[in-house]
Amino acid sequence: MPRRTNPPPKPADWTPEKTLAALKKQLAGLDNLRGRNYEEAEHDEQGWMNLTLNVLTHGFGDGSNNVGQFHSAKWAGDHYMGRMSPALLQSNFNKRIEAFEAMIESSIAELEMMLPEPELAGTYETGDDYIFYKDLKTIVALAGRELFVIDNYLDTQLFDVYMEIVGALVRVRVLTQQIPASLKAVAEKFAKRGAFELRVSNSVHDRVVFADDRCFVIGQSIKDAAVKKPTYIVEHSGADTMRGIYETLWNSGTPVVKGWGGVQ
């Protein structure tokens, strides 16, 4: 009688882009579990684990290291036979959340390395505002930890057009020279997401976007770019030096709108 063999592991069947978006949502979902009582969070944690395992299986395959790391994270903490105390169960719950966070962050980093480097047009003739829009939105999407926008003349377009794709865990800072009432009103609504701050400074004269550790310089204000005049987007090789300059301006700026968890 022939020996039964196990079916081969299920291969990945999602694109890296789809998997990346889903894992970022799951990472954000950990905030709904963090700091809670393990008994009260049990149902939500189980639902989170089920969905996360499905995402990892679709994105990396059933036999992947990523799925293996997920199963390892489930057993974070100290375990032994017999009844465990509520204090130990709570400690294990907290350690699971930390292990899940580290596991997802490493999977996200792996996916980001798999994605092709986005190609930007870089230069935009008059009337190329749609191409500019697509390229700037690509830059905004690069931010996995922080987005820092400096532009002396902004309007609500920054939030209406570009900010919808910013991940829930990304810290957002905006520094500008003038704040129309309409911009402030929309910024106050956006600030409810948390980790957001808008400041004003009379020293702002440039257009710069920092997406994590990368720096992009823009020729015109975002609201008018390529509408009536040509413009450009150039990645600056001296990101650290540029950041030092604009951190100084940020620190001297006046806070106008700040969401819960806004950065200093």
Residue 108's CB is within 10 A of a number of other CB atoms, namely: 18
**Could you tell me what percentage of the chain is helix, strand and coil, using 3-state DSSP and rounding each to the nearest 5?**
50, 15, 35
Local structure of residue 90 (DSSP, 8 states)? H
Place of tokens 């400041």: 199
Residue 230 is predicted with a pLDDT of 95
**Tokens matching residue 170:** 């990304």
Q: What is the pLDDT of residues 18-76, one digit of tens each?
A: 998 899 889 989 989 999 999 999 999 999 999 999 999 999 999 999 999 999 999 99
- Angle between helices 86-114 and 65-74 in degrees, nearest 10: 160
E-strand spans in the chain?
Answer: 123-124, 146-151, 171-176, 196-200, 207-211, 214-218, 231-236, 254-258
Confidence tier at 202 by pLDDT (50, 70, 90): very high
Which residue type does 84 have? M
Residue 264 is predicted with a pLDDT of 43
* Segment 221-234 mean pLDDT: 94
pLDDT surpassing 60 at residue 220: yes
